[in-house]
Amino acid sequence: MNEKAPALTARPAWKALHAHWDALRGVHLRDLFANDEHRGERLAAEAAGLYLDYSKQRVTDGTLGLLLALAAECGLRERIDAMFRGDRINVSEKRAVLHVALRAPAGSSLTLDGLNVVPQVQAVLGRMEEFTRRIRSGDWKGHTGRRIRNIVNIGIGGSDLGPVMAYEALRWYSERDLTLRFVSNVDGTDFVEATRDLDPAETLFIVSSKTFTTLETMTNAQSARAWTLAALGSDTTVAKHFVAVSTNAEGVAKFGIDTANMFGFWDWVGGRYSMDSAIGLSTMLAIGSQHFRAMLEGFHAMDEHFRTAPLERNLPVLMGLLGVWNTNFLGARTVAVLPYDQYLKRFPAYLQQLTMESNGKHVTLDGSTVDYQTGPVYWGEPGTNGQHSFYQLIHQGTQAVPCDFIAFRKPLNALGRHHDLLMANVFAQTEALAFGKTAEQVKAEGTPDWLVPHRVFAGNRPTSTILADQLTPATLGALVALYEHSVFTQGTIWGVDSFDQWGVELGKALAQRIVGELEEPAGAKLAHDSSTNALIKRYRRTDR
Ligand code: F6P
């Protein structure tokens, strides 16, 4: 049993924040900027190559002071130390949370139960590097003696979203002679479309699954095995065309993959925090081990900043606290993540699991039901595409949608005026969202009276801008770590376990039961509710 923590809503700083919001509610960002000509530079912080401008959030120095007081009351500093110390802060699963060890430099130390885990991490990295060298040099041969040209990662959730996101984000740095594909969905279309133009003799599957029991991944892995054997025959082909990334050596061996070709990780790495573990094998194959190491250095730089920087200048802490402010005081229910970089097109999808599987919780660590909002819905699309789609609602809709804009000073693909145009849009959007356009301004442009209300922009819509020099492996590492730690900061304030995911269990268990019923002859007795029964019966009709 965990000791009961004082209720969040009873904390002095929480109450003070409520009173403060009552006073600030009517204040416009126009006024906040007008009253402080240096606000734009003052409300900004920088670390690990990322510059965070939060001046367009609806906060004052007073707000930030109270949010930091709340962080102190919730023991944020102690929780950060506990994580880095290897304490079992994932209380519902009784696990340590040590993804920071995945990017700790060789020779450093992070201990769990008195044992330094960094050497284990480095040993796996060394094996991944050797494997990468063999694949990229053509030294590793497929069953027929041909070199491997296609890599297919099979995994789902944290064993897919991180690898896909990182591959897309760092594609500019990738070896173009290797084709990378990702299969996650149990929908057969995913596998069929991903492999239809691939030659099995030149294809290697990475079966990525922390547990090696996940239905989708195991089903796709079996289909991959059948696909390979159908083309290449003998059972010995599996050894040449399959490797595994898992914590479950027994499961891997049972599947028929030689554990010599398994890359391990540990129960103290959560699935959604694992893209820099062996789960990143496809990333390393694509970008090479030097770039992978550079990505780890970016992660580590942000880890060190999070661990050591004063909370008032600590990027993940500031981002996390601003998220709490927007969720619990401004009443925002969603956050839009808007990368102005095409290579980050999968970043919002990746963040959805990181944020929502972590903080979509309804009870605190001690099992009490919360009486406040926890994790908001994250969503987004790369700019400028979103501007021609959902930005209308963000500018003029009736709900507050705080936005994170992410942009880079230097393009990877310089092409005419493209980058200036892209960046002009970033700056224009955050300016428009903050300051809007008054009825007077609209009228002064000669707009007829009847049209004025339609053309007014209220403004006062909160945004943060993350600006970095260029999208590099290190920048990506720092960016991911920034979000990981801001999620942890928020989870600490909300008092929830950001590292478990019990909410995915019920649907999985029911699906296991129903699949049996679907495969039974039509007419077998069903004992669900009338809606589920009717849907199952309709599906089972023999005229499919
Ligand atoms: O169902 C959710 C989940 O458990 C995620 O937390 C995890 O990332 C994903 O499934 C995949 O799990 P595994 O890597 O064990 O196949």
DSSP labels, 1-68: -PPPPPPGGGSHHHHHHHHHHHHHTT--HHHHHHT-TTHHHHSEEEETTEEEE-TTSS--HHHHHHHH
- Unique residue bearing structure tokens 């005419």: 416
Rounded to 10 degrees, what is the CA torsion of 452, 454, 459, 462? Answer: 180
* Residue of 356, 300, 354, 358 lying closest to 160 (CA atoms): 354
For residues 325 and 335, the answer to whether their CB atoms sit within 8 Å is no
Predicted confidence (pLDDT) at residue 2 exceeds the cutoff of 50: yes
**Residue 6: per-residue pLDDT:** 78
Amino acid at 494: W
Q: What is the pLDDT of residues 291-324, one digit of tens each?
A: 999 999 999 999 999 999 999 999 999 999 999 9
- In angstroms, what is the span from residue 227 Cα to ligand 1's centroid? 24
Q: Backbone dihedral region of 447: left (phi > 0), alpha (psi from -120 to 50 degrees) or beta?
A: beta
> For residue 377, what are the CA distances in angstroms to 337, 348, 492?
11, 11, 18
Sign of the C-alpha dihedral computed for residues 410, 411, 415 and 419 taken in this order = negative
Question: What is the 8-class DSSP label of residue 103?
Answer: G
For residue 237, say if its preceding peptide bond is cis, omega within 30 degrees of 0.
no
**Residue 522: per-residue pLDDT:** 64
Count of CA atoms in the C-beta half-sphere (13 A) of 426 = 22
Catalytic positions, written as ranges = 357, 388, 508
Rounded CA separation 250/252 (Å): 5
157 lines ligand 1 (CB under 6 A): yes
pLDDT > 70 in the chain, percent: 99
For residues 462 and 58, the answer to whether their CB atoms sit within 8 Å is yes
Residues ≥6 apart with Cβ < 8 Å to 189? none
For residues 111 and 86, the answer to whether their CB atoms sit within 8 Å is yes
**Residue 521: per-residue pLDDT:** 64
Mean pLDDT, range 162-190, rounded to an integer:
98
162 lines ligand 1 (CB under 6 A): no
Mean pLDDT, range 130-138, rounded to an integer:
98
Annotate 149-164 with three-state secondary structure.
Answer: CEEEEECCHHHCHHHH
Sign of the C-alpha dihedral computed for residues 324, 329, 333 and 334 taken in this order = negative
**Residue 1: per-residue pLDDT:** 46
Rounded CA separation 288/286 (Å): 6
Extended beta strands in 232-309, E state = 242-246, 262-264
Output the average pLDDT for the chain. Answer: 96
* Residue of 212, 221, 243 lying closest to 154 (CA atoms): 221
Q: Could you give phi then psi for residue 237, rounded to 5 degrees?
A: -60, -30
* Residue of 406, 515, 403 lying closest to 468 (CA atoms): 406
Measured in whole angstroms, how far is the alpha carbon of residue 23 from the centre of its chain? 35
Predicted confidence (pLDDT) at residue 206 exceeds the cutoff of 90: yes
- In angstroms, what is the span from residue 271 Cα to ligand 1's centroid? 6
**Residue 235: per-residue pLDDT:** 75
Assessment of whether the complete model's pTM goes beyond 0.95? yes
504 lines ligand 1 (CB under 6 A): yes
> Of 181-185, 199-203, 252-256, 336-340, which range is least confident?
252-256
- Ligand 1: residue of 156, 207, 351, 358 to mutate (most ligand atoms within 8 A of CB) is 156
Mean pLDDT, range 503-519, rounded to an integer:
90
Supply 45's token pair: 């912080």
User: Read out DSSP for 385-447?
Assistant: GGGGTTHHHHHHSSS---EEEEEESS-SS--TTHHHHHHHHHHHHHHHHHH-B-HHHHHHTT-
158 lines ligand 1 (CB under 6 A): yes
Rounded CA separation 418/81 (Å): 44
Mean pLDDT, range 487-502, rounded to an integer:
98
Q: What is the pLDDT of residues 238-264, one digit of tens each?
A: 999 999 999 999 999 999 899 999 999
Question: What is the 8-class DSSP label of residue 537?
Answer: H
400 burial level (CB within 10 Å; 0-12, 13-18, 19+): middle
- In angstroms, what is the span from residue 459 Cα to ligand 1's centroid? 40
Amino acid at 262: M
For residues 417 and 476, the answer to whether their CB atoms sit within 8 Å is no
Mean pLDDT, range 190-202, rounded to an integer:
98
159 lines ligand 1 (CB under 6 A): yes
- In angstroms, what is the span from residue 46 Cα to ligand 1's centroid? 33
Closest atom of ligand 1 to CA, residue 279: 14
